[in-house]
């Protein structure tokens, strides 16, 4: 029998809050984390809004050396991991460092550092780059920095599957614990993509919302008929996954059980999902079955729900393929309507929402749902969340390249 895995720690910094308490409060209140992007001049860009972290001061938890040595995507991850560590109540003498791992998902690494150093080399030559360029830009430095901070000597690596990165990282963390390769893993996702090249890259793909630059709070509207693209966002969500008996032995609080994981590839197109939701359905089915559950056991889905014209109806099709008539009974919401899309960091903060939804028995809302789309015909918890029974839930992530990662969480019971 596979070892059971539970969630014992949560940490985040994202457009809805710089800690888990504020984040969850703002999710419940259906607040907006999207604003006009003023970090650089957006005059030439058709999309001018983003999910922006406010009042972030890394020195609140980190030292000056940490800030100097890390790109923003690593700082977000380390900052959130410190909260997760504290939240989990971890003491050095209760964890074997060789049994502690770190697996973090990230889509594009230290892009801000890379862009800045390219400007330097263009102006001053190749040897003008800072000595820390390489370690600041590589994706695996985020888990490396966390491992160094907590002396985590077990498995440590990064996952890069575009927008599914964070969820795939958590799925692999679950499997490592099940396979007895670790007792505890810091996992989740991080991203810092608010840079000129990233914004331009997604704009030329015509993936971003462009029609509500003067109403940023209305720009992200998953499953709504008037959606016109996703809103790029920044931040990190880090969770502590732990083997059940290990958690119980040290008296840890348990948010939810990590019950299943599904993974697949559409094998269809570099950016577009399979039009019939084939890959998403395959991963959803795998996640439910690997959890030892039936489709009718699932009560809530935190959808990928990006607010793009193509993704939302395809994800709806995938859900209906797996759940059949039960799909109409499910509550399905997208918290990207409040945060925007954190790319590789999305899975981390959405798993936090899913875990807290189970713990609090609360269905989070989809903000800005105003006009139903005939192609999106499920219950998307429009505009206002409410309490209800959640026995088990899914957190969906679907990425460029056809990557699908689905995490299944359930209410913990002895």
The pLDDT tens digits for 327-365 are 999 999 999 999 999 999 999 999 999 999 999 999 999
* Active-site residue identified among 304, 376, 403, 408: 304
27 and 167 in a single domain? The answer is yes
CA angle at residue 238 from 237 to 244, to 5 degrees? 135
Domain-embedded: residue 323: yes
Domain-embedded: residue 88: yes
CB 87 within 8 A of CB 79: no
Domain-embedded: residue 254: no
87 and 180 in a single domain? The answer is yes
Q: For residues 32 and 39, what is the distance between their CA atoms, to the nearest angstrom?
A: 18
Is the pLDDT at 92 greater than 90? The verdict is: no
pTM, two decimals, is 0.98
The pLDDT, as a whole number, for residue 195 is 98
Contacts of 214 (CB under 8 A, 6+ apart): none
User: How confident is the model over 122-146, as a mean pLDDT?
Assistant: 95
Q: Is 341 a catalytic residue?
A: yes
269 and 218 in a single domain? The answer is no
Tokens (6 digits) for 339: 């945060």
281 and 237 in a single domain? The answer is no
Q: What is the total count of domains within the chain? A: 2
* Active-site residue identified among 156, 163, 203, 408: 163
User: How confident is the model over 370-383, as a mean pLDDT?
Assistant: 98
268 and 133 in a single domain? The answer is no
The pLDDT, as a whole number, for residue 93 is 85
242 and 164 in a single domain? The answer is yes
The pLDDT, as a whole number, for residue 2 is 82
Domain-embedded: residue 256: no
98 and 201 in a single domain? The answer is yes
Banded model confidence at residue 126, pLDDT cuts 50, 70, 90: confident
User: How confident is the model over 215-229, as a mean pLDDT?
Assistant: 98
Domain assignment of residue 356, given as a range: 261-410
Is the pLDDT at 1 greater than 80? The verdict is: no
Q: Helices in 196-274 by DSSP H: which ranges?
A: 196-204, 244-249
Fill in the DSSP letter of residue 200: H
Query: Looking at 229, 249, 269, which one is the last position of a domain?
Result: 249
CB 189 within 8 A of CB 105: yes
The pLDDT, as a whole number, for residue 302 is 98
User: How confident is the model over 276-280, as a mean pLDDT?
Assistant: 96
Q: Is 403 a catalytic residue?
A: no
Banded model confidence at residue 395, pLDDT cuts 50, 70, 90: very high
User: How confident is the model over 388-393, as a mean pLDDT?
Assistant: 98
The pLDDT, as a whole number, for residue 392 is 98
Name the residue with tokens 């094998």: 267
The pLDDT, as a whole number, for residue 414 is 83
Tokens (6 digits) for 289: 């079955």
Q: Can you state the angle between helices 278-290 and 311-323, rounded to 10 degrees?
A: 40
pLDDT tens across 233-253, in order?
999 999 999 999 999 999 999
272 and 243 in a single domain? The answer is no
213 and 105 in a single domain? The answer is yes
User: How confident is the model over 94-119, as a mean pLDDT?
Assistant: 96
Domain-embedded: residue 255: no
Query: Looking at 227, 249, 271, which one is the last position of a domain?
Result: 249
272 and 204 in a single domain? The answer is no
The pLDDT, as a whole number, for residue 349 is 98
- 223 in helix, strand or coil? coil
Q: For residues 183 and 194, what is the distance between their CA atoms, to the nearest angstrom?
A: 35
Domain-embedded: residue 195: yes
CATH code of the domain containing 382: 3.40.47.10
Banded model confidence at residue 230, pLDDT cuts 50, 70, 90: very high
User: How confident is the model over 392-412, as a mean pLDDT?
Assistant: 97
* Active-site residue identified among 246, 341, 376, 408: 341
Query: Looking at 249, 283, 300, which one is the last position of a domain?
Result: 249
232 and 266 in a single domain? The answer is no
Tokens (6 digits) for 286: 């795998």
Q: pLDDT > 70: what percent of the chain?
A: 100
């Amino acid at each position: 029998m596979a070892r059971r895995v539970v969630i014992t720690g949560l940490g985040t910094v994202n457009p809805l809050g710089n800690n888990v308490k504020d984040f969850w409060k703002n999710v419940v209140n259906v607040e907006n984390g999207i604003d006009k992007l003023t970090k650089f001049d957006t005059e030439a860009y058709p999309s001018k809004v983003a999910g922006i972290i406010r009042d972030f001061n890394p020195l609140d938890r980190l030292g000056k050396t940490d800030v100097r040595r890390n790109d923003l995507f690593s700082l977000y991850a380390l900052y959130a991991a410190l909260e997760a560590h504290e939240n989990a109540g971890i003491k050095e003498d209760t964890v074997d460092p060789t049994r502690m791992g770190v697996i973090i998902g990230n889509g594009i690494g230290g892009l801000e550092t890379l862009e800045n150093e390219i400007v330097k080399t263009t102006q001053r030559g190749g040897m003008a780059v800072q000595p820390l360029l390489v370690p600041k830009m590589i994706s695996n430095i985020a888990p490396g920095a966390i491992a160094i901070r907590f002396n985590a000597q077990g498995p440590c690596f990064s996952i890069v599957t575009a927008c599914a990165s964070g969820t795939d990282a958590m799925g692999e963390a679950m499997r490592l614990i099940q396979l007895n390769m670790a007792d505890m893993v810091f996992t989740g996702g991080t991203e810092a993509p608010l840079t000129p090249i990233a914004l331009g890259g997604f704009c030329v793909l015509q993936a971003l919302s462009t029609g509500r630059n003067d109403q940023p709070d209305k720009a992200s509207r998953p499953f709504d008929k008037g959606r016109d693209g996703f809103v790029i966002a920044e931040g990190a969500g880090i969770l502590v996954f732990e083997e059940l008996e290990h958690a119980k032995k040290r008296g840890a609080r348990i948010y939810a059980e990590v019950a299943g994981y599904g993974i697949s590839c559409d094998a269809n197109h570099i950016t577009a999902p399979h039009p019939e939701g084939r890959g998403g359905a395959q991963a959803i089915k795998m996640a439910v079955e690997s959890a030892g559950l039936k489709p009718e056991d699932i009560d809530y889905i935190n959808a990928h729900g990006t607010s793009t014209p193509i993704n939302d109806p395809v994800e709806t099709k995938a859900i209906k393929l797996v759940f059949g008539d039960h799909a109409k009974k499910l509550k399905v919401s997208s918290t990207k309507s409040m945060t925007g899309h954190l790319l590789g960091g999305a899975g981390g903060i959405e798993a936090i929402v899913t875990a807290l939804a189970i713990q609090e028995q609360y269905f989070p809302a989809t903000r800005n749902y105003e006009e139903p789309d005939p192609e999106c015909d499920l219950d998307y918890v429009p505009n206002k969340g409410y309490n209800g029974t959640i026995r088990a839930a899914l957190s969906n992530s679907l990425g460029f390249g056809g990557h699908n990662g689905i995490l299944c969480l359930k209410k913990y019971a002895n």
